[in-house]
């Protein structure tokens, strides 16, 4: 699994061990660029999370009563930078 380097002050605030089971992210303006593309390497990171038993759930800000989360970016026909 890839490890990203974080600023020391961010690392200091984290516990020594994290029981990570779910990663949820907003899509528009956070995960996606202005052209609806996901960042390079995201699909590999999602595969790494799945292999580690972590659920990845991209979500959209929707009106009440509308589904906001889905199983992954491919469902909405999004592209990668590849």
Are 27 and 59 within 8 A, CB to CB? yes
In what helix (H) or strand (E) does residue 38 lie, and over which residues does it extend? strand 37-38
Per-residue pLDDT of the chain (82 residues; tens, 9 = 90+): 556 666 788 778 878 788 889 998 888 777 887 788 888 888 888 899 999 999 998 887 665 666 566 554 444 554 444 4
In the prediction, which pLDDT does 50 show?
92
- What pLDDT sits at residue 80? 47
Q: Of 43, 52, 50, nearest to 18 (Cα)?
A: 52
């Amino acid at each position: 699994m890839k490890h990203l380097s974080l600023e020391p002050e961010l690392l200091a605030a984290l516990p020594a061990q994290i029981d990570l089971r779910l990663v949820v992210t907003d899509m528009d303006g956070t995960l996606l660029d202005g052209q609806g593309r996901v960042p390079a390497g995201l699909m590999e990171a999602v595969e790494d999370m799945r292999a580690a038993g972590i659920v990845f759930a991209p979500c959209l800000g929707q009106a009440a009563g509308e589904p906001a989360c889905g199983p992954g970016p491919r469902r909405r026909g999004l592209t990668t930078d590849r």
